[in-house]
């Protein structure tokens, strides 16, 4: 596998197989709708009796009641007959045969695996199995089978005559892809595959139910399959192509066995394909594992970043709180400073006032000192005068004092003593004045 995985031809092959799958999926609804209409038409023969129709289908697809009847005793041309006495079942069987394409020589009537119940929901698909070339089929619908089964139905049942030619081209493509030993497809063949698929999907009968398939086809055409080993989608595409090849080879081998043909070639291809699928599955797993690891790494990185961010936010909040606190302190300090300033101003005013007071006091003191000096001078003068008077002054003082004392001790009123000595003092004063005047 690894030796051809990168080649252009291999990737062409992968795209080719994917085209087959898209084309078959795009045909599913078209096939279902056609077969349902066919069932409805047949059922009218038994007046839409589901149980009767079920018995008919069982006779044809499970019980082996269809026999080959030669038209000529000696062999050669033949017709199929149903072993039933019911005219309605015979009528329905005739219609079935009428819808067999002429190229379908050996019809496989006993095509349904009885383990899958026949019911109204799968009448159409059980009927379809008659036109599919594999024996004993337990599939439940066109989705479960490989592209060839669906293409086969469209070429062997005349209901699909409108698309038969293009479907034959698709079958050729299918066999080329599935029986390729090296899983290679040329660019020219790939281009043709795209063209044929588009012609089929855009056919008037198919187009109403194939919009999605057409989109997928366009998308596949644009897809560049280059990132092998990196792109999980690409490995998935390769793996799916190989899985489809395996399914096709298994069916082809069944047919070959039934027809008594050798199956060695199929067995070898099947073995190789199985090995390739395992390898490719490992690659898909490996790419997915790497992706998961990358996602986990990214998640961890994201968690780290988240934590860092949380830490930063916490730090920022802390810083904010600190700044808020600092601002608060600053405001408090401002208030205190203002108070101190006011106090200082008051203190300064007080000092100024005290200084003024001191200056005023000094001035007052000086005035007082000068006044005192003046008073002292006057006093000195008085003293000097008194000294001049000397004794006289003493006598007067003694007499006065003595008079007063005598008055108090003898009981004679002082006033009387004063009055008695008053004229004497008066004379003395006049004498002092006279004396002073003479001295001056």
Q: Which residue has the tokens 């793996």?
A: 239
Beta bridge partners of 78: 70
Task: Pick the closer one to Zn ion by CB: 49 or 380.
Answer: 49
Task: Pick the closer one to Zn ion by CB: 89 or 145.
Answer: 89
Least distance between Zn ion and beta carbon 122 (Å): 19
* Helices 8-43 and 211-222: angle between axes, nearest 10 degrees: 180
Beta bridge partners of 67: 81
Least distance between Zn ion and beta carbon 1 (Å): 54
Task: Pick the closer one to Zn ion by CB: 44 or 105.
Answer: 44
What is the helix (H) or strand (E) element at residue 67, kind and residue range?
A: strand 66-70
Task: Pick the closer one to Zn ion by CB: 86 or 432.
Answer: 86
Task: Pick the closer one to Zn ion by CB: 45 or 235.
Answer: 45
Helix H segments across 204-263?
A: 211-222, 232-258
Least distance between Zn ion and beta carbon 83 (Å): 12
Task: Pick the closer one to Zn ion by CB: 23 or 84.
Answer: 84
| Residue numbers at the binding site for Zn ion (CB under 5 A) | 86, 88-89
Task: Pick the closer one to Zn ion by CB: 88 or 158.
Answer: 88
Task: Pick the closer one to Zn ion by CB: 22 or 89.
Answer: 89
Least distance between Zn ion and beta carbon 55 (Å): 6
Least distance between Zn ion and beta carbon 56 (Å): 6
By beta-carbon distance, which residue lies closest to Zn ion? 86
Least distance between Zn ion and beta carbon 126 (Å): 16
d(CA 364, CA 372): 12
d(CA 162, CA 199): 12
Dihedral (Cα; 401, 407, 413, 416), 10-degree rounding: -60
Q: Are strands 66-70 and 78-82 parallel, antiparallel or unpaired?
A: antiparallel
Task: Pick the closer one to Zn ion by CB: 87 or 260.
Answer: 87
200 neighbors 147 (Cβ within 8 angstroms):
no
Least distance between Zn ion and beta carbon 71 (Å): 24
CB contact set of 255 (below 8 Å; sequence gap of 6+): 133, 134
> For residue 101, which of 56, 152, 148 has the smallest C-alpha distance?
152
Task: Pick the closer one to Zn ion by CB: 89 or 170.
Answer: 89
Least distance between Zn ion and beta carbon 159 (Å): 22
- What are the tokens at 166? 């293009």
Q: How far is CA 7 from CA 182, 219, 229, 290, 338, in A?
A: 11, 21, 13, 24, 89
d(CA 48, CA 124): 14
- Cβ–Cβ contacts within 10 Å for residue 375, how many? 11
Q: How far is CA 166 from CA 127, 172, 189, 200, in A?
A: 23, 10, 15, 6
Least distance between Zn ion and beta carbon 86 (Å): 3
Least distance between Zn ion and beta carbon 89 (Å): 3
């Amino acid at each position: 596998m690894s030796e051809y995985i990168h080649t252009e031809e291999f990737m062409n092959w992968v795209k080719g197989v994917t085209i087959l799958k898209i084309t078959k999926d795009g045909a599913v609804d078209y096939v279902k709708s056609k077969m349902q209409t066919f069932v409805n038409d047949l059922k009218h023969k038994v007046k839409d009796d589901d149980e009767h129709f079920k018995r008919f289908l069982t006779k044809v697809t499970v019980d082996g009641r269809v026999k080959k009847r030669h038209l000529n005793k000696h062999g050669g041309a033949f017709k199929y007959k149903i072993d039933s006495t019911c005219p309605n079942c015979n009528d329905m069987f005739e219609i079935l045969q009428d819808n067999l394409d002429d190229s379908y020589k050996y019809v496989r009537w006993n095509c349904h695996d009885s383990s899958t119940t026949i019911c109204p929901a799968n009448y159409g698909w059980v009927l379809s199995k008659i036109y599919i070339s594999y024996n004993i089929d337990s599939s439940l619908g066109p989705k479960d089978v490989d592209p060839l089964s669906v293409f086969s139905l469209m070429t062997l049942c005349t209901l699909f005559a409108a698309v038969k030619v293009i479907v034959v081209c698709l079958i050729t493509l299918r066999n080329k892809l599935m029986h390729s030993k090296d899983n290679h497809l040329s660019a020219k063949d790939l281009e043709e595959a795209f063209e044929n698929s588009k012609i089929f999907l855009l056919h008037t009968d198919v187009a109403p139910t194939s919009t999605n398939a057409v989109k997928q086809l366009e998308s596949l055409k644009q897809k560049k399959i280059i990132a092998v080993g990196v792109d999980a989608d690409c490995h998935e595409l390769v793996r799916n192509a190989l899985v489809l090849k395996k399914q096709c080879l298994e069916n082809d081998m069944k047919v070959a066995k039934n027809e008594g043909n050798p199956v060695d070639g199929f067995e070898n291809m099947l073995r190789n394909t199985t090995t390739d699928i395992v390898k490719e599955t490992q690659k898909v797993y490996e790419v997915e594992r790497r992706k998961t690891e990358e996602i986990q790494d990214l998640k961890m990185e994201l968690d780290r970043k988240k934590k860092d961010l949380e830490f930063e936010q916490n730090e920022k909040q802390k810083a904010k709180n600190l700044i808020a606190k600092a601002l608060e302190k600053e405001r408090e300090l401002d208030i205190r400073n203002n108070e101190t300033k006011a106090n200082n101003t008051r203190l300064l005013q007080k000092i100024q006032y005290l200084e003024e007071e001191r200056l005023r006091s000094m001035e007052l003191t000086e005035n007082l000192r000068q006044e005192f000096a003046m008073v002292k001078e006057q006093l000195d003068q008085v003293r000097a005068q008194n000294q001049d008077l000397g004794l006289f002054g003493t006598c007067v003082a003694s007499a006065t004092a003595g008079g007063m004392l005598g008055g108090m001790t003898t009981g004679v009123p002082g006033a009387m003593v004063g009055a008695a000595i008053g004229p004497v003092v008066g004379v003395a004063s006049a004498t002092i004045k006279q004396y002073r005047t003479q001295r001056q």
